[in-house]
Amino acid sequence: MAPPVASDDLVPRALASDNAAMARLMSRAEAGTAECRPALAQLYARAGRAHVIGITGVPGSGKSTLVSTLTLKLRATGKRVGIIAVDPSSPYSGGSIMGDRIRMAELVNDDGVFIRSMATRGEQGGMARATLEAVDVLDAAGFDYVIIETVGVGQAEVEIARTAHTIVVVSAPGLGDDIQAIKAGILEIADIHVVSKCDRADANRTISDLKTMLTMALALGGNAAWRTPVLPTSAANGEGFDQLIDCLQRHGEFMRDSDAGRARVRSIAEFRMLKTAEALLRQRFIDARQGALAAVSADLAARRISPYQAAERLLDDLSEKGNL
């Protein structure tokens, strides 16, 4: 077996948009090996131009269809689009219905599109880190847009969506109210609301109810810098996609050119730092605790100290030895 190519050697090929090199770097990022960190650092330094769009919504809301249609529209303007699916039900991750497969075929054979699906396993927070490193790979390779598709249920998925420059929350008519209620928790993070399948008559109800709910949640202080639009779209007849692209562009400019936008870019960077620090700390703790448990566990088992005291003593021991 040939020795694996060093990550550093993959960097020039990834920068030239070599699909295999990009994919391998993403896999190594996902595995979290230390070997790839310098390579990822190089890519991070060269990234920062792509517009990162988070698209989220409950299963059945039409996210994947929206992503396909949006990507085709963006491709028609000559832009390159990366798609990262963090959604086990996404056709990009294997689950799909026939219509999506057909739409996908057009994208799969297009050099201007790179599709990657992230496994939704692994430790808490690790998925966000790996996803953002995959974004860096595509960004550094010169992709104009990177779309992160997540299912809008669960804290980890919502956290990932929040690391995008522009968060699109997708709602759809005809889903049971129980499903939509789960999603109520993510409505407030949207920069753009999309109501998909608006060719259906009952879309009016979805739009009215959504707007009524959003109206009640708005703070009327008079200093909001971004107006969150509610856009009806239909992948069936193409309605709404020009407006969506226009809104994405305006939001991209807002993030670049406004104080509020720049502050949010900084807080996304801080979030990455914190998530990475948490992951590192966790790994160090796992490495360091080997053999250190016995010293306190006897006292704990004999109920001479409480679990809380035991944990504090363990951490103090590890810190004193400089292992954390």
Chain residues in the site for another protein (CB under 8 A): 173, 177, 180-181, 183-184, 187, 201-202, 204-215, 218-225, 227-228, 230
Taking the CA atoms of residue 29, residue 127, residue 152 and residue 51 in that order, the dihedral angle to the nearest 10 degrees is -40
Residue 298: CB minimum distance to another protein, A: 55
Q: Which of 80, 68, 70 is nearest to 111 (CA)?
A: 80
Of 158 and 288, nearer to another protein (C-beta) is 158
Residue 91: CB minimum distance to another protein, A: 26
* CA 272 to each of CA 26, 41, 53, 77, 190: distance values in angstroms, whole numbers, following the listed order: 17, 13, 16, 31, 20
Residue 210: CB minimum distance to another protein, A: 7
Tell me how far apart the alpha carbons of residues 184 and 81 are, in angstroms, rounded to a whole number: 29
Tell me how far apart the alpha carbons of residues 176 and 191 are, in angstroms, rounded to a whole number: 24
Of 257 and 320, nearer to another protein (C-beta) is 257
Of 29 and 198, nearer to another protein (C-beta) is 198
Residue 249: CB minimum distance to another protein, A: 19
Of 36 and 186, nearer to another protein (C-beta) is 186
- Identify whether the C-beta of residue 166 lies closer than 8 Å to the C-beta of residue 54: yes
Alpha helices, H only, 16-82 = 19-31, 37-46, 63-76
Of 78 and 176, nearer to another protein (C-beta) is 176
Q: Which of 97, 65, 62 is nearest to 175 (CA)?
A: 62
Of 91 and 152, nearer to another protein (C-beta) is 152
Residue 253: CB minimum distance to another protein, A: 16
Residue 215: CB minimum distance to another protein, A: 4
Position 10: which residue type? Answer: L
